[in-house]
Structure 1
Amino acid sequence: MNNSSLNNQLLPVDAIRILGIHKRAGEPLVFVKCHFDYNPFNDNLIPCKEAGLKFSKGEILQIVNREDPNWWQASHVKEGGSAGLIPSQFLEEKRKAFVRRDWDNSGPFCGTISNKKKKKMMYLTTRNAEFDRHEIQIYEEVAKMPPFQRKTLVLIGAQGVGRRSLKNRFIVLNPARFGTTVPFTSRKPREDEKDGQAYKFVSRSEMEADIKAGKYLEHGEYEGNLYGTKIDSILEVVQTGRTCILDVNPQALKVLRTSEFMPYVVFIAAPELETLRAMHKAVVDAGITTKLLTDSDLKKTVDESARIQRAYNHYFDLIIVNDNLDKAFEKLQTAIEKLRMEPQWVPISWVY
C-alpha cells in the first residue's frame, strides 16, 4: 500500500502491523520519546480512529514509517507492544501552535471515504507571553544507553520549594559522588569571607567581560553587584568524577541539555498552598528560619511553580512534589541510583 494515500485509504491496525512494521533494509531504527499524551479516539483529524496508536507522555515509540507528512506509523517498544498511526511532528506542531476556532466534528467512519466538504479551519495564533514556538516539543529522537552516571543533576523549581536543601543534603552525605559550583561575584569580600569558599571574588570589569564572552551559564545583579555561575566551574566538578548538582533558572536548560553536561533534570514542584503554609510554620517553630513569609509570598511560590511546569515540562526527567523534605530526598536518591543500574533513553545527540 502506498503510504502517501493514508489520508484517503483507511488502514485497520492489523494491516498496519503487517504492512508497515517492516523497514527498508539498512534503514536505521528511529526511536522517539513522546512529550504529550495522545488518544486517537479524541482526535478529530485522524482518518481512522481505530487505526490510531494511543500513548502517554514519556513513553518511547519506534517510528516505523514517516513518509506521510501528517501520519506516521509507530509501535510501542515494550515487548508485544501495539502498532498504529500517530500524528506527525509537522501536524502536531501546527495543532499546538494554533488555536482552532471553527471545526466540524463529523468525520468518516473506518473503511469509508467521504467526499462531504468540511468547514474550513480558522486559526488564531496564541498570544501567551510564555509561548515560544521553538519550545514546542512533540517527539524527541532518543537512543538507548547502558547504565551510566549523569554529569549533572539539575534541580528546577520556584524559589522556596527546597532545592537548595536537597542539593546540600546530597553533597554532605556523599561528597565523593556529588559536588557543586562556587558562584562568582563582583562584590567585595566581607572580613570573615575567604575567596573560593562561599564565593569567588572578581572585579566587575572582569566579570562583565566574561559575561560578554559567553562564559557564564547564568548571571544577575543584586544591590549593584553581579553574581553568576561560570560554565567552566561546572566542568571542573565533572572532571573530578563527581556529578555536579545545580539549582539554576530554567532558561539555563537550553545550554545544559547537551552531551557536554548530560543532565538529569528534576522539577521540584511546590505542594498545595495549605501544605506549604504548614511546612513553613514548622520550620519557623523549629527555629530553622527566622524569615516569616506571608500568605501572599507562599501563593507566589505555588503560582510560579505551576508557571515553570507549564513552560518547561518537556525538559523534565522527573517531577517530585516537595510536601515533605525527607520523602522528596528519598525519591530523588532512588531515581539517581536507578540511573546507575538500568539502561537509559537519552537524546540521540548525546550519542552520535
Structure 2
Amino acid sequence: MPVAATNSESAMQQVLDNLGSLPNATGAAELDLIFLRGIMESPIVRSLAKAHERLEETKLEAVRDNNLELVQEILRDLAQLAEQSSTAAELARILQEPHFQSLLETHDSVASKTYETPPPSPGLDPTFSNQPVPPDAVRMVGIRKTAGEHLGVTFRVEGGELVIARILHGGMVAQQGLLHVGDIIKEVNGQPVGSDPRALQELLRSASGSVILKILPSYQEPHLPRQMQREAGPREVAGWVWGASCLERDGAQASCIFVKVFVKCHFDYDPGRDSLIPCKEAGLRFSAGDLLQIVNQDDANWWQACHVEGGSAGLIPSQLLEEKRKAFVKRDLELTPTSGTLCGSLSGKKKKRMMYLTTKNAEFDRHELLIYEEVARMPPFRRKTLVLIGAQGVGRRSLKNKLIMWDPDRYGTTVPYTSRRPKDSEREGQGYSFVSRGEMEADIRAGRYLEHGEYEGNLYGTRIDSIRGVVASGKVCVLDVNPQAVKVLRTAEFVPYVVFIEAPDFETLRAMNRAALESGVSTKQLTEADLRRTVEESSRIQRGYGHYFDLSLVNTNLERTFRELQAAMEKLRTEPQWVPVSWVY
C-alpha cells in the first residue's frame, strides 16, 4: 500500500524528534545517536525513501479498453442531433478525426496489453568478436581547450607506441568520456606523436582551440575501481559524503556502492620535487593537516586525490609507496668486502629488533611512520574530553582552571591519585585521592593509569576510571597531560579534542615572565636556561606529536588564548567535524 511522501517525511521527523529520549530508554551511546541522526537527515536517505514509496505506489490501470466501441456508440447518438445542433456536429467531427481515432486505438492496445513482440535481432557471430582490431580501425577525437590547460591524462610507452596510462578523475578527458585507458595516440592535429611521453604532454599543453587526436581504441572492458565495492556499506556518515552506483552485466543487475575515502595528510608533498612521479604536472601539492578525498586507488603506487575544498584531482604517492620511501633501510648484510679478505666476504651490522613495551613508548614514537589517516566527516557534536598539550610552564594548567571556573557545569577534571600520606589539612578527594603504594603499583601494572610519575619518593598519577567518571557525569573532562598519553585517549571512548598550547618565541616568553612578576601573578623568576628549555621542548612536542593536534594556540597572552579556546569549543557544537574513521565504525 503506497504511503504519501508527506506522511513519510513526518514519520522520519518524528523519529528524529524522539532520538533525544533514546539514551534513557535503550542505553544507546551518544556517538551512535549522532551517527543515526546524520543518516536520517541525509538528503540521500530522504531521496531513497521517496524512491521506495514511488516504487510501491499502485500502478494506474485503465478504466476501460474498448474506447473505440464507445466512440462509435456516441457517434450514432450524435447523428440524430447533428442536423439540429452545430455543437453536436462539431463534436462528431472531432471524434472522427484520424489522429483522435489513432490515439484511442493506441490507448486500447496498451490497456488490453495486446503488444506485438518484435522479432529477435540476429545474434553476432561469436567468432567475429574475438577477431583482433584491424590496425586501420582508428578514431578521430576532437577536444577544445585553452593553452596551458591540462587534459588530465598521463601516458606510457608500450611497444613503441604512446598509450594512455591513466585518466585523472574530474579532468577534461574524464568529463568528456571520449578517451579511455589503453587508447594509443597516433597523431595530434595531423602531427605524428613519436614515442616520447614528455614531448606529447608538452604538445598537448601548448595546444589551444580545437585539438584533433587520432587514436587507435583499446576496446578494453571497463573495470570497477577499488572504491567500487560490490555489496559494500557506506564508509561515511550518510548525508555528508557518500554516494551509490548501480551496474548491469550479462543482463543481471549488480548493486554496487561507491565508497568515498577521505584522509588527513601527515606530511608535506611537492610533486615538482618528486623524481618518481610519472608526470609532475599531474601531481597534487598538499601540506600536513590537509584533508583529501581519494578518488582512485587502481595504481598501487599512485593514487588520485583532490582537496575536500574543491579543485581538480591529481596524483599523490600511495600509502605503500610513501612507506617504502620513509622506511627504507639497508639490507641486513651490506655487500661490502672487508679489507684483507681474498674473495670479499660479507660483513655488516644486523638490524635491531625489539619487542614493543609500553615503557619504550617514546622510543617507538620516534620510529612511527606518519603518512595518511583515514577520517570521516561527522555532524556537530560535543567532545567528551579536552586535552591540553604543551611544554612545562606554558600555561596549560592556568587555562584548565579558568575553563572549569568559567563553566563548572560543563567542564570538569580528574582528581589525581598519590601514594603519600595526607597532610592534616587535606581531605580525601579534595586535591588528591590517597591510596597505598602497593595498591597504586598494582594498578599501574594492570594499566589502570593514564600516566604516572614519582616525586620525592611518592607516586602520583591519573586513573583512567577517573576520566570515565567525569564523562559519565555529563561534563567535558579537561586534562593537561604528557603528549604520550594522547595515544591512549585518542579512541571512540574518549573522543578527545587535542589543543596544543605553543610557547611563543624566547623574547616574548621572557617579557611575559617579567610582566607576571611585576603584577604579582607569579613569584617564580625563570632563568634564561628555563625559558630556552621551554621553547625547545615546545618545538620538540610539535614535531613529534603534531599529527594528533586538532588546534594549536600560541600563548602570548593568557586572556586572549582563553578566549580563543572558548571559541574553538563553541564551534564544535555548530560545525561539522573530521574525526578518525575508527571513531565511527
TM-score category (smaller protein): 0.7 to 0.9
Q: Deviations over 1:229-277 (max 9, x none)?
A: 0000001000111110100000101100000110001111110010000
Is 1:236–2:475 an aligned residue pair? no
What CA distance in whole angstroms lies between the structure 1 residues aligned with 2:273 and 2:406? 48
Q: How does 1:22-37 map to 2 (within 5 A)?
A: 24=228, 25-37=256-268
Q: Deviations over 1:271-314 (max 9, x none)?
A: 00100001011111112222221100111001111111111111
Runs of 4+ in structure 1 off by over 6 angstroms are 5-8, 19-22
Letter in 1 for 2:526: L
Contact 1:16 1:83 (8 Å CA) reproduced: no
1:293 to 517, 522, 526: 526
Contact 1:141 1:347 (8 Å CA) reproduced: yes
Partner of 2:555: 322
Contact 1:12 1:51 (8 Å CA) reproduced: no
What CA distance in whole angstroms lies between the structure 1 residues aligned with 2:480 and 2:280? 43
Q: When the two structures are aligned, how many residues end up with a matched partner?
A: 320
- What's the secondary structure of 1:135's corresponding residue? coil
1:275 to 499, 508, 511: 508
Kindly state the Cα deviation for residue 39 of structure 1 after the two structures are TM-superposed.
2.2
Is 1:214–2:439 an aligned residue pair? no
Contact 1:163 1:268 (8 Å CA) reproduced: yes
2:292 to 56, 61, 71: 61
Partner of 2:398: 165
Q: TM-score, normalised by structure 1?
A: 0.85
Q: Deviations over 1:114-134 (max 9, x none)?
A: xxxxxxxxxxx9xxx967466
What CA distance in whole angstroms lies between the structure 1 residues aligned with 2:296 and 2:515? 56
1:96 to 318, 326, 330: 326
Kindly state the Cα deviation for residue 320 of structure 1 after the two structures are TM-superposed.
0.7
C-alpha change, 1:67 and 1:269, in structure 2 (3 Å) is same
C-alpha change, 1:133 and 1:15, in structure 2 (3 Å) is farther
Letter in 2 for 1:75: C
- What's the secondary structure of 2:428's corresponding residue? coil
Partner of 2:423: 190
Q: How does 1:6-155 map to 2 (within 5 A)?
A: 11=166, 13=168, 14=171, 17-18=174-175, 24=228, 25-78=256-309, 80-98=310-328, 132=365, 135-155=368-388
C-alpha change, 1:62 and 1:206, in structure 2 (3 Å) is same
Kindly state the Cα deviation for residue 208 of structure 1 after the two structures are TM-superposed.
0.6
1:302 to 527, 535, 557: 535
Q: TM-score, normalised by structure 2?
A: 0.52
C-alpha change, 1:205 and 1:62, in structure 2 (3 Å) is same
- What's the secondary structure of 2:287's corresponding residue? coil
Give RMSD over aligned pairs.
Answer: 2.4
C-alpha change, 1:164 and 1:7, in structure 2 (3 Å) is farther
Q: Deviations over 1:143-184 (max 9, x none)?
A: 111000100000001100000000000000000111000000
Q: Deviations over 1:158-216 (max 9, x none)?
A: 10000000000000000011100000000011111111011001110110111011100
- Percent identity at matched positions? 67
Kindly state the Cα deviation for residue 81 of structure 1 after the two structures are TM-superposed.
2.4
Quick one: higher RCO (CA 8 Å, sep 6+), 1 or 2? 1
What CA distance in whole angstroms lies between the structure 2 residues aligned with 1:159 and 1:87? 38
What CA distance in whole angstroms lies between the structure 2 residues aligned with 1:179 and 1:200? 16
C-alpha change, 1:90 and 1:15, in structure 2 (3 Å) is farther
Partner of 1:107: none
Kindly state the Cα deviation for residue 17 of structure 1 after the two structures are TM-superposed.
4.6
Contact 2:167 2:174 (8 Å CA) reproduced: no
Q: Deviations over 1:52-74 (max 9, x none)?
A: 11223222211122232211111
Kindly state the Cα deviation for residue 97 of structure 1 after the two structures are TM-superposed.
3.3
C-alpha change, 1:173 and 1:74, in structure 2 (3 Å) is same
Contact 2:399 2:562 (8 Å CA) reproduced: yes
- What's the secondary structure of 2:499's corresponding residue? strand
- What's the secondary structure of 2:542's corresponding residue? helix
What CA distance in whole angstroms lies between the structure 1 residues aligned with 2:419 and 2:409? 30
What CA distance in whole angstroms lies between the structure 2 residues aligned with 1:162 and 1:298? 13
C-alpha change, 1:161 and 1:16, in structure 2 (3 Å) is farther
Deviates more, 1:86-95 or 1:334-343: 86-95
What CA distance in whole angstroms lies between the structure 1 residues aligned with 2:312 and 2:572? 27
Partner of 1:121: none
1:251 to 462, 484, 493: 484
2:413 to 161, 175, 180: 180
What CA distance in whole angstroms lies between the structure 2 residues aligned with 1:29 and 1:348? 12
Structure with larger Rg: 2
Kindly state the Cα deviation for residue 139 of structure 1 after the two structures are TM-superposed.
0.9
Partner of 1:113: none
> Structure 2 regions of 5+ residues with no counterpart?
1-153, 158-163, 182-223, 229-255, 331-350, 352-361
> Structure 1 regions of 5+ residues with no counterpart?
101-124
Partner of 1:331: 564
Contact 1:149 1:339 (8 Å CA) reproduced: yes
C-alpha change, 1:131 and 1:299, in structure 2 (3 Å) is farther
Is 1:199–2:432 an aligned residue pair? yes
- What's the secondary structure of 2:324's corresponding residue? helix
C-alpha change, 1:7 and 1:256, in structure 2 (3 Å) is farther
Deviates more, 1:316-325 or 1:220-229: 316-325
What CA distance in whole angstroms lies between the structure 1 residues aligned with 2:450 and 2:556? 30
Letter in 1 for 2:296: N
- What's the secondary structure of 2:515's corresponding residue? helix
What CA distance in whole angstroms lies between the structure 2 residues aligned with 1:202 and 1:335? 37
Contact 2:366 2:544 (8 Å CA) reproduced: no
Partner of 2:113: none
C-alpha change, 1:321 and 1:7, in structure 2 (3 Å) is farther
Letter in 2 for 1:70: N
What CA distance in whole angstroms lies between the structure 2 residues aligned with 1:30 and 1:16? 23
Partner of 1:109: none
